Amino acid sequence: METTYLAALEILIMSLLFCFFPLGISTAIAVLLIVATFFMKNRSNLLLVISILFMLRIFTGLDLGTHNIGENIILKVNGGNSKIERINGKIPRKSLYIYGNNLEDGKSEITGKLKDKVVRNNREYYQLDEVYTTPIPRGFVNKYLDDKIRALTRNYSGDMEKFYRAVIMGEKGNLSDKVKDMFSYTGTSHLIVISGLHIGVIIAIILFLTGKLPLQREVRYFLSAVILTLYTAGVGLAPSVLRAYIMGMCYIGGELFYEKPDPKKSLSAAFVISLLINPVSVMELSFQMSFMAVVAIIFIYPKVEKKLRSPARREFINKVLLFAAMSLTIQIFLTPIFIVYFRTIPLLSFLVNLVAIPLGVLFVQSAFGALVLSVIGAGWILMPTVNLSYHILLKFIEVTSSIPGLSLNYYGIKKSGMIILLYFSIFGVALLKGKLKWLSAVPIFTLLFVNGPKPPEILDYKGMVYYSEKPGYLVSGKKISNKDIIFLRDNGIKGIEVLITTENTDEKLKKILKVSQELILSEGDEVKLRGRTFINIKGKIVELERIEKNIQM
């Protein structure tokens, strides 16, 4: 194996150690790995340097300690999801969130005294006292792109502007749940986040435009690298963006220095650099999906293409079949991620991508082209194309999202990143050892038999309250959705005796939850159950005891 592959494997192992094991154990094993690397035959000095740098990064860049009540800390928080991104300038070792402090959208630095730590709904939350909040201003490039997009879309619908921002700026949070659900069901969510597809299209546009300038080849590629870097800095270093940027820079660098780029080495380099920047990002969904999709394209699809391509068929037919095969290969390879994170098993969504991806590419080409032309005040030329491609793509996704059977819901497992890692580990062995290919199916079947944790006595989450006392019952001031079912399953709730709600629940969802009785309360209605009294006040179901406590306080 070459240095880049070994470095990627060793850094992956060390990242997982510090994510899942106590500090002492993970440090001891990581040190043993580095020592073993030193004594390896035919080892590369670069491999040893990378391993040592990674260990230094962990101990200087990760927040490895514990924080006690009353301690003064500084947090960097993303107000959009209340997630803590830095503690005293270091990356949290695990996912942490803040509560009890009003946060505006965007990133803020919060200084205060740790008042409380709460584990709620399988997440750990911090609450601060004596708080001083300072908004973190956006960078110059981000502001510039934001102003340009606002000017370009001012004569178009607000929904089109939100979609434009999601695709070009990575601001997916402003999209409606309906739009996100449609893209999720049809297996085309990759079109509404910045991914390798987008960066590839953007690089092609940059090279095309710089190719029209009277520049030397070296200057042209250098200018392309600068533009790509500025764009990436403007949209932020999300895992998928960073991975695509590094691979794009490897391609541009290869062309700049007259070397043929190696996609496998580029992917390994992107993996290593990404984890050097954030060693615990390996457990993030976007990181896993981004890298695993490219692994499928680079390592698996060429074998499929070799067997499927036929000189007897017309070239157009070959291209359509190979495009469908690539989409299906990615879909199969990512099946464990879809099952664990989204509780869906994709079936026919790869067929939707045959049309959706070309439409998405057209939108990205015209949208980014308009953004570039806006520098000279000519972006308006492409905006009609941007608007048209947006409406065609959304209409296509809307129509296909109503087709049954594109994906199946499956709620029988708990969320576990370790299951995904198990799958891909065995899949990797099977890929290297041809005779063991059947092993790659084993982890898929193990997913079907994994049970969730024991449910808590009371679970309070976004308008829903579950009481485990028998009979177990759920009180919900909103209509139950698929996402709510996933959350309940993740917390070990497999069945509900009584459902108290304000609206009729879908029969399929009631069957999944094994609801024995549903009580629908209109405004002003109340019901008593197990010594508790619940009342519908302005469309919200509230426990009477909680109301009395609030009045007394």
Based on the domain organization, do 154 and 129 belong to the same domain? no
Q: From CA 188, how far away is CA 352, in angstroms rounded? A: 8
**Which of helix, strand or coil describes residue 375?**
helix
Residue 21 lies in a domain: yes
Residue 327 lies in a domain: no
Residue 317 lies in a domain: no
Based on the domain organization, do 532 and 463 belong to the same domain? yes
Question: Would you place residue 417 in the very low, low, confident or very high pLDDT band (cuts 50, 70, 90)?
Answer: low
Based on the domain organization, do 192 and 231 belong to the same domain? yes
Based on the domain organization, do 100 and 179 belong to the same domain? no
Mean pLDDT of the 242-270 span: 80
**Which of helix, strand or coil describes residue 97?**
strand
Question: Would you place residue 350 in the very low, low, confident or very high pLDDT band (cuts 50, 70, 90)?
Answer: confident
Q: Comparing C-alpha atoms, which of 99, 90, 169 is closest to residue 127?
A: 99
Based on the domain organization, do 367 and 484 belong to the same domain? no
Identify which has the larger pLDDT, 492 or 466: 466
Based on the domain organization, do 378 and 427 belong to the same domain? no
Question: Would you place residue 389 in the very low, low, confident or very high pLDDT band (cuts 50, 70, 90)?
Answer: very high
The alpha helices in 39-176, defined as continuous H runs, are 45-61, 140-152, 158-169
Based on the domain organization, do 519 and 399 belong to the same domain? no
Q: Comparing C-alpha atoms, which of 502, 552, 551 is closest to residue 524?
A: 502
Residue 284 lies in a domain: yes
Q: Comparing C-alpha atoms, which of 319, 180, 295, 302 is closest to residue 247?
A: 295
Residue 342 lies in a domain: no
Based on the domain organization, do 155 and 299 belong to the same domain? yes
Instruction: State yes or no: pLDDT of 175 exceeds 80.
Output: yes
Identify which has the larger pLDDT, 512 or 31: 31
Based on the domain organization, do 133 and 150 belong to the same domain? no
Last residue of a domain, one of 137, 154, 181: 137
Provide the residue range defining the domain that includes 371.
142-305+352-409
Based on the domain organization, do 292 and 190 belong to the same domain? yes
Based on the domain organization, do 14 and 114 belong to the same domain? no
pLDDT, one tens digit per residue, over 504-547 is: 888 877 887 788 888 888 888 888 877 788 888 877 887 776 44
How many domains does the chain contain in total?
A: 5
Residue 299 lies in a domain: yes
Last residue of a domain, one of 117, 137, 157: 137
Based on the domain organization, do 86 and 226 belong to the same domain? no
Residue 329 lies in a domain: no
**pLDDT given for residue 151 in this prediction:** 93
Burial (0-12, 13-18, 19+ Cβ within 10 Å), 489? buried
Last residue of a domain, one of 137, 171, 192: 137
Mean pLDDT of the 108-121 span: 85
Mean pLDDT score of the chain: 80
Residue 205 lies in a domain: yes
pLDDT, one tens digit per residue, over 491-500 is: 767 778 888 8
